[in-house]
Structure 1
Amino acid sequence: MIQRTLPRKAAGRPSARARRASRILLAVTAMAALLSLDLPEAGAAGPPGVTDEAPADAEAGRVGALFADGLEGGHFCTASVVRSLGHDLIATAAHCLDHPDTTVFAPGYRDGEAPYGVWRLTRVWLAPGWADGRDPDEDIAFATVAPADGGETRAVEDVVGAFPVAAAQPGDVTVTVLGYPSVQDGPLRCSNATSLFSPTQRRIDCPDLSGGTSGSPWLAGGALAGVLGGYQGGGDVPEVSYSAVMGDAALALYCEAAGVAR
């Protein structure tokens, strides 16, 4: 059974000043590497608020569909690869991970093919507010993955690359959403300015982001600024979508999953 992990409480353990300073320096260096930009080339964005098929480029290769019990089970959500020390981490909506033991991830999935393999989930990180009461303000989760068939020897980030994470974005930040509607076998892409629906929820106007796009990355300048989810599970009409604001709590959850102390 896959372990579901909540953020750990920091342990106050005394140490020598030099050793403590060394640990802090290593943590800061690791965090800077995870959050710094090293972005793939992406195709030119279309007009704001217009949803089109995403080109098969490096950016789309870092995004994939979540399937139940393999590719024959149908895809029901979207996830993306984000940076981690283990090079094996994906981000999605927490409501997409109700059954992690049978969920697999196919980055770059298109037209029935998984060009970068199929990856099983090995561990899941959920925020306490979601685990205890399905708080829509904490509808983001992270999971580590490993090759489903054992044939691939590299980690997923080494195969497709990974997005850095960019929390604390302004309310009107422009993002690009990449997601897989469950009714088609390729990703859609839409860019537009966002607005704050509430202090804890962000919204975007993009058509055709229907069921299956939950968990889609919201990319601000090529870095993960949220995932489709939150209010109304991400929205109850395909023209308007939501994401929980990615603040300190989400960043702490990411750091825990990515293996970096804040």
Structure 2
Amino acid sequence: MLVAWAVAVAVASPAQAAPAAAQNAGSPTASTIQSSEEYWTPERMKSAIPADLPQATVSQQQQAVPRPGPSGKHDGVAPKGVQASADVITMSGRVFFVSDQGQNMSCSGSTVNSDGKKLVFTAGHCVHGGGAGRGWFDVNRWVFVPGYNNGNRPYGTWNAYQQWTKTAWINNANRAFDVAAVVMQQLNGRRIVDAVGGQGIKWGAGYGLRTYMFGYPAGPPFNGSLLYQCNGNTRNEGGFPTLSCNMTGGASGGPWLENYGATFWAYVNGVNSWMFWNGSPSNVFKWQSPYFSYDTAGSLFDQVKNM
């Protein structure tokens, strides 16, 4: 079951690999502290292209995946709520950016608690094109809109300061490392986690976990206007956590929340990365996330947690 969060309801519906290098890279920093709202008009947001990858090919599925680590071991940081109303709606949001090829595009993301209180986690392909000839997306036009709802921006439009992702994604478009963290600028003198709350983050937790995945699907039959969710127990398919879900393009980068409960605060333990469909991209039947190990999420979080 896929749910249009808090607004509508709609039916939506690895073998251990060799060790992988835990290397990260950061984009240039933003050259302006001015709001990008002048660029991201409602019209541009409405027409933004969903930024999602094609179906996984056999060669892509055979790429090396990060080490799972000891069974049952996990690490990370606890979520932070700032007020009674801080929950998955305030911490989840829609991402808008201009790609390295000059296209206006959209993804999804989630705030994550850290010492710096400025982080948004998303997919690597929401900050960098991945592979030969591709580059960073325009950091001066990369924005996060928490609680986006039918064009409304109840918690403001937050500008990026710097993007970070894995070198394995940058160099080879290796989807096992398709995860990113974006350090956000302050808005009206406040840090984003202080303003809307931040989910915890966890890695090395294994498979078979009850997980809720969230995102803003924008490809047909959806239009990017609402936050949706799917849920189930993660299964191991070739080293990639997998969930059945029919969210379409635009949901990329949305959080996979483990230990999601009555408080609506939880632990990001994956991100929407790769969708699989039958016939056309409007008939999606499952999504995968990179496995969150120290090689992926842990080392990336440590790199940026104090920024």
Percent identity, aligned pairs only, is 23
- Deviation at 1:259? 2.5
Per-residue CA shift, 1:10-68, capped at 9, x if unaligned? xxxxxxxxxxxxxxxxxxxxxx8x613556999xxxxxxxxxxxxx9721210000113
2:267 is aligned with 1:223: yes
Change beyond 3 A, Cα 1:40–1:194:
farther
Match of 1:235 among 255, 263, 276: 276
Task: Check conservation: 2:117, 2:193, Cα contact below 8 A.
Answer: yes
SS at 2:234's partner residue?
strand
| d(CA) in 2 for partners of 1:118, 1:257 | 21
Provide the secondary structure at the position in 2 that maps to 1:244.
coil
Letter of the aligned partner of 1:175 in structure 2?
T
- Hey, which bits of structure 1, 4+ residues long, moved more than 4 A? 37-42
- Cα 1:82–1:100 change in 2 (3 A) is farther
Alpha-carbon offset, residue 120 of structure 1: 1.2
1:84-106 deviation per Cα after TM superposition (whole angstroms, max 9, x unaligned): 21111000000011314222110
Structure 2 CA distance for aligned equivalents of residues 38 and 122 of structure 1: 22
Give the 3 Å change call, closer, same or farther, for CA 39–172 of structure 1 in structure 2. Answer: farther
Q: Which amino acid aligns with 2:276?
A: G
CA distance in 1, matches of 2:253, 2:292: 13
> Which residue of 2 is the match for residue 194 of structure 1?
234
- What are the ranges of 5 or more consecutive residues in structure 1 without an aligned counterpart? 6-31, 43-55
- Secondary structure of the residue aligned to 2:171 is helix
Matches within 5 A, 1:112-191: 112-147=151-186, 152-182=188-218, 183-191=223-231
SS at match of 2:170: helix
User: 1: CA distance between counterparts of 2:157 and 2:78?
Assistant: 27
From 65, 74, 90, give the equivalent of 1:61: 90
User: 2: distance between equivalents of 1:78 and 1:37?
Assistant: 19
Q: Is the 8 A contact 2:159 2:185 kept in 1?
A: yes
Q: CA deviation at 1:75?
A: 5.8
- DSSP-derived class of the 1:87 partner: coil
Amino acid at match of 1:187: L
Q: Specify the alignment match of 1:76 in structure 2.
A: 106
- For structure 2, the residue ranges without an aligned partner over 5 or more in a row are 1-25, 29-74, 129-136, 260-265, 278-282
Asked if 1:94 is matched to 2:97, the reply is: no
TM-score normalised to structure 1 length: 0.72
Q: Hey, what's the Cα distance between the residues in 1 that align with 2:106 and 2:254?
A: 11
